[in-house]
Chains A and B, each alone.
Chain A
Amino acid sequence: MEHTVVSASKFNAWFGDNHVVKDVSIKIEKNQVIAVMGPSGCGKTTFLRCINRMHELIPGATAKGSLKLYADEIYTMNPIYVRYKIGMVFQRPNPFPNLSIYDNVVAGYKLNGLKVAKAEMDNIVEKSLTSAALWNEVKDSLHKKGTFLSGGQQQRLCIARAIAMEPEVILFDEPTSALDPISTSSVEQLFHELKANYTLIIVTHNMQQAARVSDKTAFFYLGELVEFDETKQMFTAPKDNRTQNYITGRFS
C-alpha cells in the first residue's frame, strides 16, 4: 500500500527578491528513495530545506504555496514538530564536537530535554547505530568524542542521529559530496536498507549516484521541477529535452 508522505503544490521559495523555487508540485510516496538532481543553483537544496523548515532560518528567505506532510500543511505546523518528523543529514558530517558518540546519537532527545530511561536510551543508541551500519565499528568506543571518527563514520553517525528520532522522512543534502569513494559506497548501501522504514529524499550532484540509489528522480532546472519520474525511465527515456540535455552532459 503506497501513500503520499510529502506533497507540494505550486510551492515557491525566495531569497529576498531571488525566486529560487518556482511553482513546484510533487508527490513523494512512502518508503521510497527520491533523488533530487540538477545543476548548481537550480533550487534543489532550497526545496529540500523547505521541507523541514530550515530554509526560513536564513535572513530574507521566504516561501509560499502548499507543502504537506501527510495531510498537514508544513508551513502552519510548529517548525520544531516538523523537524521531529523530518530528519536531515547535511553535506558535511556535523557531529556535535562536545558530545560523545553515544550522546551524539541521542542528541535529539538530550538537547531537547526529553526524559528517556537509561535502558531505553541504550536501546535507541544500539538500534540507530546498527541501522546506520556503524554499531560494529564503534560499540567499544561509545564514550569517545564523535569527532574522532573518520569522515564516512561521522556521516553515518549523523544518519544514526537522524534515525534515532524515528522520523517519517529523512532529507539528505548531498550527503556524500565530502566523502571518499569507499565511505560513499557504504552510505549508498545504507539508503537501500533505510527505505524499508523511512522515506528518503536525497539531493545529489552526482547523476550516477541518483541512478544507483533512487526509485524516483526529480530534475530541477532554474528553480522549476522539470521532470519527476521513475529513475529508470528518467535515465533511459526522459520526456523533457532539458532532462535529456542534462543527463547527457550537454550542460551542467
Chain B
Amino acid sequence: MIARLSAISFNTFREAVRDRVLYNLIVFALLLVATAPLFGEISIGVERLILVNVGLSAISIFGIIIAIFIGIGLVSKEIEKRTLYTILSRPVRRWEFIAGKYMGLLMTLVVNAALMTAGFYLALLIVSHGLGKDDAALLVAVYFIILEFFIVTAITLLFSSFSTPIFAAIFAFALFAIGTFAEDLRNFAALATGLTKWLTTAAAYLVPNFSALNVISQAAHSESISGKLILLNTLYALLYSLTATAGAVLIFERRNLK
C-alpha cells in the first residue's frame, strides 16, 4: 500500500515539475528578490511591513491557484486520457489512487511554498539588512498557508470527483472566497434570528474557515501567534481535508469510468 501510494504521489509531483509549473514560481520568487530594494524606495519606514504582506499573500495566492488548476485535472485528466485504465488494472485500490494524487499535489505545493519562502526571506534580508527573531516567526504564517493548501486541494478533489473541471474550479474558487470571510459569516449568523440564523450558522461552519488561517497581517506587525491557535488550526485543517478527501473517495469508488 505504501509503495503504491508513494509511486502515485511521486508521479503526480513529477508531472507538475515537468509541466514547468514550479519553474514559473521560481521566476516569481526571483522577481520578488530582484524588486525588493524598490520597496525601500517607495515606502520609507514601512518597507518590511509591505514586503511581508506582499510576499506572504503572493505565496498563498499562487499556491491556491496551482492547487485548484492542477487539482481539477488530477482525476479527470487520467479518465479522459485513459491512463487510469492501466492503473486500475493493477492491484491499486481506488482510494489509494485518490490519496496518492492528493499527496502528490500537496508535495508539489509544499515544494513551491518552500522555494517561494526562500525567495521571500532573501528579499527580507536585502530590505532589513539582516534577519531577526520576528522574521523567524513569519514561518508560522507560511505554515498556515500550507494548511490552506491541504484544505483547498481536498475540496478541489471533492468537486472534481463529481463535476466537470470548469465547474470544479468555479466551486473551489467560490468556496475559497467564502471561506476567506468565514469569520464575518459567523458574526452575521450570531446577529441573525430564526431560519436565517439557522441557515447562516450552518453555512458558516460548513465552509472552510480560511480567515482563521490567515495571520499575514499579525505576522507583518510582528504580533505573536499562540501555540493554541497553531494546534487548533492544524487539527482543523487535517480534519477538514480528511473529510473532503473521504467524500471524494466515496464518490470515486462508485463511479463508472467511461
Q: Do A and B actually bind?
A: no
Chain B residues within CB distance 8 Å of chain A: none
Chain A residues within CB distance 8 Å of chain B: none
